[in-house]
Structure 1
Amino acid sequence: MVRAVDGVDITANRAETVCVVGESGCGKTVTAKTVLKLIDMPPGRIVAGEIRFEGRDLVPLPPAEMRKIRAKQIGFVFQEPMTSLNPVYTVGQQIAETVRQHEGLSRRAALDRAAEMLRLVNIPNPQRRVQDYPHQFSGGMRQRVMIAMALSCNPKLLIADEPTTALDVTIQAQILDLLDEMKQRLGMAVLLITHAMGVVAEVAQRVVVMYAGKVVEEATVEALFATPRHPYTQGLIRSIPRIDRAASVHARLEAIPGTVPSLLNPPVGCRFAARCRHAMPDCVAAEPPLREVAPGHKVACILYPEHRP
């Protein structure tokens, strides 16, 4: 058994954007999909823990109950809209299907809702474009369609899995502004999965940093960028290009040495120890727990007095 996600504890509050960051393979997408039980079971399974939504544990719910929660109360924006949208149905039909299933609207009323949602996400001429197919939209427009579909039933929580991946920076900014506008308008919580620290700085109120299936740091966005505590978080921030640093044609971005450990046989102790510049013998003796080192700032590292044995 491989623990793709191990002991992750994340809370998203109403009208708050929580960003989950980390390199590819750290467990961000599995965490997001597990909330709605969208992982393939089998082989995937939830072996322990709870997924609490408004005080209700989703783990024991049967598939029929989960279908009532998906889209209606928790919306999901997938990473790649071209593979998430059905190519043989119009975008209007696909948005209307969600509305008809959860709100019982007629076909005509559901298509009108679909057009209204396209207008809400700033797609021009929505009454005509509901009749178009996914391939007739650009990448940015397809992502807007996915957001319109996820918001069509006014969910209380929106999970967005890297919604700006493969989009140019102008479209990225538009998508992020749109998500923030919808959050303010609907008062929903947003769980945003990303690996881009620039996106985090732009939209997050709180940040959760994951590494090798575990949470290694959690803080407000201001605290994370001002005083990153975990060596992995520090490495992520050091790897960001900075325009305020002395420019040189020979300058190289700082990279984190080594590779991510295999989750088939994870190391004992801190999983980042083999790549950490501050590693000491205690790091491989036992796994450091996630503890609060400042108000609202948690870190899983023994470099701080609160963590020392």
Structure 2
Amino acid sequence: MNMLDIRNLTIEMDTSNGPVKILDKVNLQVGEGEIHTLVGESGSGKSLLAKAILGFINPRWRVTADRLWWNNRDLLNMDAALRRQITGRDMAMIFQNPNSYLDPNSTVGEQLREAIPKGDLRGTFIRKMVDKRTRVVRLLHRVGVKDHDQVIDSYPFELSVGVAQKVSIAMAIAHRPKLLIADEPTTAMEPSTRQQIYRLLTRLSITQGMSMLMITQDVASVMPDSDNVTLLYCGQLMEAGNKQAVFDQPQHPYTEAMLRMSLRDTDAVEPKTHLPTLPGAIPTLQHLPIGCRLGPRCPNAQKDCVMVPKVTRLKQQSYHCHHPLAPNKRRKSAS
């Protein structure tokens, strides 16, 4: 069962050159307990999609969708106050830079106590304070922080990046959300710290039955335990489906390019070797290509790419492309 069900989500804004679709008919489904990864270059609209789910959209932008449902409830046409109540209770988000999320003027303990739902506390004032302290310690232990006394009394700038990110995860799960959105939570971290955060998030998903939407711009950073993956480019959906099926048998040239450009920690590269890249750069909103937005950079582009491609569905994946990869040209991935 899909807890989050998005069909043909479009976000349009007005510019000096006329209306522009920042997101163009994007589909995304996340099931109960599923880890779903959203992949795309910087500027592809990944974070914007996450904000659309949470309702953090500029009121001047036009948001339309055939479906934007959470647990079979229509978020798009819901009263704003009720939507804030539902998303605040059932969803949480962690950000790429924990220092942009944590308050530098408050200790970690103060911020974690604020994150604990007041409705969970019972008894007298003293009893509530003791209960809060106990819950804060449990949260820190749950995310792998052992020296809780030192961390509780520290300010965010006194923590390492890895510990600060664990604290932000603890704050996000304090109210036991059903969906956790992680916007590039391991960027600029050392490989050992990154793997530690991945193991932590996977364990939380399993033990709490929590669904997760992971956002990354690097295929090599996709969590090993991800169930499904969606590739987004310049606001358009390129390919989506089962992670292993998409990575082993990519259908879209963009997926193939992202796989070739990704370098894992175990990959060996010869000195003075040119790294594989996708020619060109992601276009600005004022100069979006017509049709398939990958067209100007796509090695398979033809004349009919000026038309938006329709979706082609396979058993475990789907893609939007007029000229998918030939079977003998696909890169077999070991991911």
| Residue matched to 1:81 | 98
Matched, 1:5 2:23: yes
Matched, 1:249 2:271: yes
| Residue matched to 1:188 | 210
Change in 2 beyond 3 A, CA 1:87/1:290: same
The offset of 1:52, in angstroms, is: 1.1
CA separation in 1, counterparts of 2:231 and 2:143?
29
Matched, 1:93 2:114: no
CA separation in 1, counterparts of 2:119 and 2:215?
26
Q: Which amino acid aligns with 1:150?
A: A
For the Cα contact (< 8 Å) 1:143–1:163, is it kept in 2?
Answer: yes
> SS where residue 92 of structure 1 aligns?
helix
By percentage of residues, which structure has more strand?
Answer: 2
Change in 2 beyond 3 A, CA 1:190/1:245: closer
| Residue matched to 2:318 | 298
Question: Which of 16, 27, 30 is residue 48 of structure 2 equivalent to?
Answer: 30
| Residue matched to 2:70 | 53
For the Cα contact (< 8 Å) 2:117–2:175, is it kept in 1?
Answer: no
Matched, 1:152 2:174: yes
* 1:150-177 CA-partner distances (Å, limit 9, x unpaired): 1111111111000101211111000000
Change in 2 beyond 3 A, CA 1:55/1:268: same
For the Cα contact (< 8 Å) 1:93–1:111, is it kept in 2?
Answer: no
* 1:114-141 CA-partner distances (Å, limit 9, x unpaired): 2210111111222452232211211111
CA separation in 1, counterparts of 2:156 and 2:268?
45
| Residue matched to 2:146 | 124
Change in 2 beyond 3 A, CA 1:140/1:247: closer
For the Cα contact (< 8 Å) 2:289–2:296, is it kept in 1?
Answer: no
| Residue matched to 1:168 | 190
> SS where residue 10 of structure 1 aligns?
strand
Q: Which amino acid aligns with 2:173?
A: L
The offset of 1:214, in angstroms, is: 1.2
Q: Which amino acid aligns with 1:124?
A: K
Q: Which amino acid aligns with 2:275?
A: L
CA separation in 2, counterparts of 1:62 and 1:95?
29
For the Cα contact (< 8 Å) 1:212–1:261, is it kept in 2?
Answer: yes
CA separation in 2, counterparts of 1:117 and 1:35?
26
Extract unaligned runs of 5+ from structure 2.
Answer: 1-13, 15-19, 123-127, 326-335
What does 1:233-248 align with in structure 2 at a 5 Å threshold? 233-241=255-263, 248=270
The offset of 1:235, in angstroms, is: 0.8
CA separation in 2, counterparts of 1:142 and 1:238?
32
Matched, 1:288 2:306: no
Change in 2 beyond 3 A, CA 1:247/1:157: closer
CA separation in 2, counterparts of 1:18 and 1:6?
20
For the Cα contact (< 8 Å) 1:77–1:161, is it kept in 2?
Answer: yes
Q: Which amino acid aligns with 1:164?
A: T
Q: Which amino acid aligns with 1:299?
A: Y
**43-52 vs 22-31, which deviates more?**
43-52
Q: If the length of structure 2 is used for normalisation, what is the TM-score?
A: 0.83
Change in 2 beyond 3 A, CA 1:25/1:302: same
Q: Which amino acid aligns with 2:239?
A: E
RMSD of aligned C-alpha atoms? 2.2
Question: Which of 214, 220, 225 is residue 236 of structure 2 equivalent to?
Answer: 214
CA separation in 1, counterparts of 2:63 and 2:92?
21
> SS where residue 24 of structure 2 aligns?
coil
Question: Which of 20, 41, 53 is residue 38 of structure 2 equivalent to?
Answer: 20
| Residue matched to 1:69 | 86
Q: If the length of structure 1 is used for normalisation, what is the TM-score?
A: 0.90
Q: Which amino acid aligns with 1:10?
A: L
Q: How many residues align?
A: 302
CA separation in 2, counterparts of 1:25 and 1:94?
31
Q: Which amino acid aligns with 2:231?
A: V
